[in-house]
């Protein structure tokens, strides 16, 4: 594909405003929560108040007496169909252990009952009156304790997957005893996605027995798959329309409310809406996996990594969800960042009596790469080598092979990222400055990261798009697009506009609707720009070629004599006879009897790595444990920015999310009660705008062979390196090794107090 430099582009690389930005700002956009349909009913889910128990009885008598209540559902009158909310394609091998209303509840947030009523108020009032009695069962919250099997959450056992991947001979390297062995245990927290829009869904039945679901989702074909299964309908009887979304970060990648909504609507033959509040969105949807990592790295005295052994315990909560897939995804990322002769990776996925873990921005990479980068920083400190120099000795180079056998790494420019970022940050000066004395201690840290660009090499990776030029020269691009507020639609328009040389306002690209959109596996796996963008580019190129062929027939000239520019077409031998695209499109229809339309199924041929490094400076108050982040430099190898403003916005947002994982965010389940202490925003602490440090963004744009105009992803990798870089900076400031995240003031003060006691 074309990887020409940005200076030659007319639309690609520009910071063009998101196409629906003004409509969102002035309130014209209707989110799903704003939609009110004729005869619509409202459903309220009732959650388990115990973390583990068998339901003995559910008393709905008082609830049924509430005026406006239409029906109440429990495990007694609902289907027992098992499903897995993470499945995204037909035939996927997945453990199906969820049902709408389980008889055994496994976490506080499991669904016990649902009230469907004529109004939201009636549904909530009735739901509050439902009383459930349980035979209380033993509880296990800690994933390492869950491995013992003393408390069994599912009959199949708590650990449901143990997988390994390796290359080289780690055991042989360890046996030689020639290097220094650095060992760490690092724990990352269970966290909430915190999208502004809470979870919401509407389902509408029709007279043909079809079900239409309006959902702010990430994968319409996944929603169709699971809704059809639970309702027992063929796919053509289920229509999923992706609605405007108020953020996701992976939280709306899985099916949460759609099955309930669709089942109630089918049963009652009326539209049904379910809308969560914030607390329900925190405790009863999905979380990032809590992950405990044990890392053992062997390094030479000169700073070369000789081998690494890693074991990760992955807490997927009460049900399987994506527990199997994420373990494999974690391992793949760990092998694609450093040149390490021998690595061994082992992951154990385990159930606990906590909220279900699922997709979250980075899909396991923030957890495992945080664990690995904290360990590598410790290795550099032990060797007394500058962390920048240490990493430069070991980082991958462009087009390195994946040592585990996956696709090659592509034009990997992580070394460029480190060199340019260190200079901009002033790393050498800050790292080597004398330690401060007194209350405030400052420190710097860095971390590197990689992420993929789609599913090629692991799962099928393709999509289909249809592009049409209409009679006035405007263009319709029809694909299974999902814009999560990140500018997907605008970016696709920029790619098409660049190929066809027409303004963006002449292009329309609607979002996904399973009735009319060609198949696509959705907005996931950082595949949208690299794969969907390449699909759009190829479709536009095919349309351009067709347009030229047909225009040459109209003008009775050779295709080589045609020129296209700024929406005009002409024979270069007759420059005074220029026609607009619209005039030519109409003439092609009239004279050639041809529609200007192309449908392209694009199969991705590669899965290069996106790469990034973050540099962070912090100040730590040794009297209170408070951490203030002073400066961040974020450098990203993205091949080519399609929309520079969107890219920088993604990086700023990713930094905010990763900082939360480092120093503030944790659902913090109580080991006895199973209650998530962070079940509301008053107790779940995000990094807010006033707390954000200045973030300087540097983009490395050296092109990528198969990306559209050389582009590759940034949406997920933006949140990966910042967590470890921040923790490393805190540890540098305090000369510590804090490894249980988030590194909150109480943990810092406990460490400082223990250190002081040991010195007495």
Give the Cα separation of 335 and 452 in Å (integer).
Answer: 12
Task: Answer left, alpha or beta for residue 286, where phi above 0 means left and psi between -120 and 50 means alpha.
Answer: beta
Q: What is the 3-state secondary structure (H, E, C) of 581-602?
A: HHHHHHHHHHHHCCCCEEEEEE
Give the Cα separation of 710 and 712 in Å (integer).
Answer: 7
Give the Cα separation of 223 and 204 in Å (integer).
Answer: 14
Give the Cα separation of 557 and 562 in Å (integer).
Answer: 8
* Residue bearing tokens 């050639």: 592
Backbone angles phi, psi at 523, to 5 degrees: -90, 90
Tokens, residue 343? 């690595």
Give the Cα separation of 69 and 46 in Å (integer).
Answer: 14
Q: H/E element holding 545?
A: helix 533-555
The candidate with the shortest Cα–Cα distance to 366, out of 151, 153, 186, is: 186
Instruction: Count CB-CB contacts under 10 A for residue 399.
Output: 12
Q: Which residues contact 502 (CB under 8 A, 6 or more apart)?
A: 473, 475, 566, 567, 581
Give the Cα separation of 222 and 233 in Å (integer).
Answer: 14
The candidate with the shortest Cα–Cα distance to 247, out of 22, 490, 485, is: 485
* Cβ pair 742, 189 in contact under 8 A: yes
Q: What is the 3-state secondary structure (H, E, C) of 430-498?
A: HHHCCCCCCCEEEEEEEEEEEECCCCCCCCCCEEEEEEEECCCCCEEEEECCCCCCCCHHHHHHHHHHH
Tokens, residue 21? 């930005």
How is the chain split among helix, strand and coil, in percent rounded to 5?
30, 25, 45
Tokens, residue 582? 């619209």
Give the Cα separation of 218 and 520 in Å (integer).
Answer: 11
**Cis-peptide, bond into residue 742, ω within 30° of zero:** yes
Which amino acids are annotated catalytic?
A: 716
- 10 Å CB burial of residue 342 (0-12, 13-18, 19+) is buried
The candidate with the shortest Cα–Cα distance to 459, out of 363, 368, 375, is: 363
| β-strand pairing of 343-350 with 104-105 | unpaired
Count of helix runs (H) and strand runs (E) in the chain = 19, 26
Q: Which residues contact 310 (CB under 8 A, 6 or more apart)?
A: 293, 294, 295, 296, 334, 343, 344, 345, 346, 368, 371, 372
- 10 Å CB burial of residue 409 (0-12, 13-18, 19+) is buried
Give the Cα separation of 481 and 626 in Å (integer).
Answer: 43
Give the Cα separation of 680 and 615 in Å (integer).
Answer: 31
Rg (Cα) of the chain, in Å, rounded? Answer: 27
């Amino acid at each position: 594909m074309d990887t020409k430099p940005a200076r030659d582009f007319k639309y690609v690389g520009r910071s063009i405003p998101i196409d629906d930005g003004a409509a969102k700002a002035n309130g014209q956009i209707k989110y799903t929560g704003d939609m009110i349909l004729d005869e619509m009913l409202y459903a309220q889910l009732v959650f388990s108040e115990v973390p583990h128990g068998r339901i003995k009885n559910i008393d709905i008598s008082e609830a049924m007496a509430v005026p406006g209540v239409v029906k109440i559902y429990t495990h007694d009158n609902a289907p027992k169909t098992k499903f897995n909310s993470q499945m995204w394609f037909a035939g996927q091998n997945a453990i199906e252990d969820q049902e709408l209303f389980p008889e055994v509840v496994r976490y506080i947030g499991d669904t016990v009952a649902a009230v469907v009523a004529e109004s939201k108020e009636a549904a909530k009032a009735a739901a509050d009156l439902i009383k459930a009695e349980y035979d209380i069962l033993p509880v296990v919250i800690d994933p390492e304790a869950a491995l013992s099997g003393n408390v069994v959450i599912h009959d199949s056992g708590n650990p449901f997957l143990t997988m390994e991947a390796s290359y080289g001979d780690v055991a042989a390297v360890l046996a030689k005893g020639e290097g220094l062995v650095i060992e760490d245990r690092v724990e990352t927290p269970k966290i909430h996605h915190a999208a502004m829009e809470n979870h919401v869904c509407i389902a509408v039945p029709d007279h043909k027995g079809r079900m239409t679901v309006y959902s702010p989702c990430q994968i319409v074909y996944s929603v169709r798959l699971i809704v059809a299964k639970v309702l027992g309908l063929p796919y053509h009887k289920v229509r999923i329309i992706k609605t405007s979304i108020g953020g996701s970060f992976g939280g709306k990648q899985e099916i949460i409310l759609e099955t309930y909504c669709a089942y109630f609507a089918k049963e009652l033959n009326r539209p049904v809406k379910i809308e969560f509040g914030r607390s329900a969105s925190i405790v009863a949807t999905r979380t990032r996996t809590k992950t405990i990592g044990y890392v053992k790295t062997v390094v030479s005295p000169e700073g070369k990594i000789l081998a690494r052994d890693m074991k990760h315990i992955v807490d997927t909560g009460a049900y399987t969800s994506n527990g199997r897939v994420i373990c494999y995804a974690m391992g793949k990322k760990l092998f694609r960042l450093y040149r390490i002769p021998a690595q061994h990776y082992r992951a154990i996925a385990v159930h606990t009596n906590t909220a279900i873990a699922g997709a979250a921005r980075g899909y396991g990479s923030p957890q495992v790469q945080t664990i690995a980068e904290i360990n590598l920083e410790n290795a550099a400190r032990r060797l007394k080598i500058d962390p920048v120099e240490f990493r430069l000795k070991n980082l991958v180079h462009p087009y390195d092979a994946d040592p585990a056998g996956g696709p090659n790494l592509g034009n990997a420019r992580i070394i460029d990222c480190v060199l340019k970022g260190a200079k901009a940050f002033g790393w050498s000066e800050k790292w080597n400055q004398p330690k401060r004395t007194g209350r405030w201690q400052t420190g710097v840290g860095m971390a590197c990261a990689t992420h993929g660009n789609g599913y090629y090499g692991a799962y099928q990776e393709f999509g289909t798009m249809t592009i049409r030029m209409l009679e006035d020269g405007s263009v319709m691009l029809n694909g299974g697009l999902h814009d999560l507020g990140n500018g997907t639609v605008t970016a696709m328009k920029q790619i098409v506009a660049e190929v066809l040389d027409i303004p963006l306002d002449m292009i329309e690209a609607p979002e996904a609707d399973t009735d009319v959109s060609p198949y696509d596996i959705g907005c996931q796996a950082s595949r949208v720009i690299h794969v969907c963008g390449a699909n759009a580019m190829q479709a536009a190129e095919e349309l351009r070629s067709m347009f030229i062929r047909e225009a040459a027939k109209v003008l009775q000239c050779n295709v080589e004599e045609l020129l296209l520019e700024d929406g005009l077409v002409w024979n270069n031998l007759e420059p005074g006879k220029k026609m607009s695209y619209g005039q030519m499109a109409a003439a092609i229809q009239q004279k050639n009897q041809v529609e200007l339309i192309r449908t392209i199924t694009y199969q991705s041929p590669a899965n290069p790595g996106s790469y990034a490094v973050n540099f962070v400076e912090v100040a730590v108050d040794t009297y209170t444990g408070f951490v203030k982040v002073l400066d961040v430099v974020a450098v990203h190898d993205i091949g080519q920015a399609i929309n520079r403003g969107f890219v920088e916005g993604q990086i700023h947002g990713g930094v905010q999310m990763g900082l939360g994982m480092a120093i503030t965010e944790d659902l913090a389940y109580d080991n006895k009660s199973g209650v998530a202490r962070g079940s509301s925003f008053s107790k779940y602490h995000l990094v807010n705008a006033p707390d954000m440090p200045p973030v300087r963004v540097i983009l490395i744009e050296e092109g990528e062979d198969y990306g559209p105009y050389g582009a590759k992803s940034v949406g997920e990798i933006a949140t990966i390196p910042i967590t470890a870089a921040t923790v490393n900076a805190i540890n540098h400031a305090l000369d510590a090794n804090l490894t249980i995240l988030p590194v909150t003031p109480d943990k810092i003060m406990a460490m400082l107090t223990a250190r002081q006691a040991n010195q007495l």
